[in-house]
Amino acid sequence: MDECENSPISRKVDMKRRVFYSFHYEADCVRTSQVRNIGVVEGNRPASDNDWQTITRGGDRAIQKWIHEQLDGCCCTIVLIGQQTAQRPWIRYEIEESWREGKGVFGIYIHRLKNFDGKQDAKGKNPFTQIKVPGVFFESHLVDVVNAYMPPYRNSKKAYEYIKDNISGWIDEAISIRNRWRVWDSVRAWGHSFISDQDEL
């Protein structure tokens, strides 16, 4: 049986470096499974229906705990962007927490990959436009910081091959971007400390 038929969620994968996939399961399971099963990705194992039902019965805190457990040990979060991805609150939470924890973040548009019925989908909104991250003096929209890649092909097979050929490099770039941003994290932390010290004088 295909994993999409019995699993509501499957996000964590093992590579030479571990990454976390963030996506809307109900709408994009087939498309996301194509990306997650690319040859450079190994060890992918979806959660079962029963596991996910147990998690959700525990409420928001249980879901947050599960997400953080999945993020643990990962160096990068890949957001697989479908038509409805940007509207999903838990995907937004996963992005925000990934960035806060210092992980690389980037997106891949997957609407040109086909589903079980052989159909493509409409392009979704960029989920990074609605998320802000702290800068040194002011906040920045994440869309101005990280990348969201769209295969330049309408053909599904060519779009898949484009993702397959580039995903490793995209991971490297996302990690590099986040590492460069750490400098601003340090400057901001120093600035807050300096201001606090001045207030105490």
Q: How far apart are CA 77 and CA 191, in angstroms?
A: 28
Alpha helix (H) residue ranges in 75-155: 89-100
For residues 31-35, give the mean pLDDT: 91
pLDDT band at residue 3 under the 50/70/90 scheme:
very low
pLDDT digits 0-9 by tens, 107-154: 999 999 999 999 999 999 999 999 998 865 678 899 999 999 999 999
Mean local confidence (pLDDT), 175-194: 70
Q: Which residue has the higher pLDDT, 82 or 18?
A: 82
On whether the CB atoms of residues 66 and 152 are closer than 8 A, the answer is no
- Hey, what amino acid is at 97? E
CATH class of the domain at 3-200 = alpha beta
Q: Position 66: which residue type? A: W
Q: How many CA atoms lie within 13 A of 32 on its CB side?
A: 29
What is the distance in angstroms between the CA of the first residue and the CA of the last residue of the chain?
68
Alpha helices in 101-150 (DSSP H): none
40, HSE (Cβ side, Cα atoms, 13 Å): 15
Residue 140 token pair: 């920045």
Residues 89 and 54: their CA atoms lie apart, in Å, by 19
- Average pLDDT over the chain, rounded to whole? 82
For 74-86, write each residue's pLDDT tens digit. 899 999 999 999 9
Q: Lowest-pLDDT range, 33-42, 163-172, 184-193?
A: 184-193
Using the Cα atoms of residue 57, residue 60, residue 61 and residue 62 in order, give the sign of their dihedral: positive
pTM over 0.85: no
Average pLDDT over residues 170-196: 72
